[in-house]
Amino acid sequence: MNIFKYLLLPFSLLFGCVVYVRNWMYDFKILKTYKVEVPVISVGNISVGGSGKTPYILKLICLLQEKGLRPAVIYRGYKRTGTVDCEKVDISSKPASHFGDEASLVAFKAKVPVYVSANRVLAAQKIMKDETVDVILLDDGFQHRRLHRDLDIVVLDATDTCANYILMPVGRGREPLSSLKRAGMLAKHKINLANQMPSLLTDIESSIIFNGLVKLEDWVRGNYNFVDPRGDKVTLVSGVAKPKQVSLSLHEKYPNLIVSEKHFSDHHHFRDSDIPKSEVVTTEKDAIKIKDLKIDTSSV
């Protein structure tokens, strides 16, 4: 830990006290929760930055639909350009950036009702009023205790170390690890990279790994046939929290591929000039926004 982070330790302690008091007030019913008529399942984490929640939400939707259930999803819509307090995602009428990349991706792929709002209770109320659903999935909801949930799933990054869970601002922790006792289920993400990076976790299983590449024009049509890179050089373009892990996955799948990298901040709003004219590899979360650009995407 560098000297700058030592100076921030008092702020981490203060933040921890605030988190403890807030959780205590919810535990003892001093702060009230709002319960809707259908079960609510939260998929969250205890640290800032990408932990891989979206693949789990997509998988949960599939599992619920296989059981004959009708799910809806609530997203905060982080960094969305839309300003309406609560709205249903409709990427046929507005670009993905209006609603946020993750919410748009889930609406596009799963074809279920997806609502965005910083007020999760308001979103849940609107879903119950306007939709016919059997269950609500709440993205990034572990800390949002105002909306009652029937199951908390916490996704933990297999490549994270204990240092990453030190409370903010020294580390990336939103809550201490002891808060995991509230979770009903733990899920481990990026296990295929855990042997390449120091890992905190060793005993939770997951099957979500990088499988291959799909052409953007096929992906938009719902065709997920894998293809290989056309040449021996590609440009990796991403706007995700942990681009290093995307790069490692790509190199693991294609060890002989020459990869140049162009990374932006998480939830980046792409412009035409951000995408090079060479063969481009990107993530689904970025593809949902890149498809809205007025460029030739035949090489993506």
Give pTM, 2 decimals. 0.77
Domain positions in the chain? 37-193, 216-290
* Of the candidates 75, 21, 20, 15, the residue with the CA atom closest to the CA atom of residue 44: 75
Task: Walk along the chain (300 residues) and give the pLDDT tens digit of each residue.
Answer: 578 887 898 999 999 999 999 999 999 999 999 999 999 999 999 988 766 788 889 999 999 999 999 999 999 998 899 999 999 999 999 999 999 999 999 999 999 999 999 999 999 999 999 999 999 999 999 999 999 999 999 988 767 777 778 899 998 899 998 898 898 888 876 555 445 444 444 433 333 345 677 888 887 777 777 788 888 888 899 888 778 878 888 888 888 888 888 898 888 888 888 988 888 888 888 888 888 888 888 887
Residue count (the chain):
300
How many Å apart are CA 248 and CA 192, to the nearest integer?
A: 10
Does CATH place domain 37-193 in 3.40.50?
Answer: yes
Three-state DSSP state, 157: strand
How many Å apart are CA 63 and CA 41, to the nearest integer?
A: 13
How many Å apart are CA 118 and CA 43, to the nearest integer?
A: 16
How many Å apart are CA 300 and CA 280, to the nearest integer?
A: 5
In the block, which residue shows the tokens 């990349």? 101
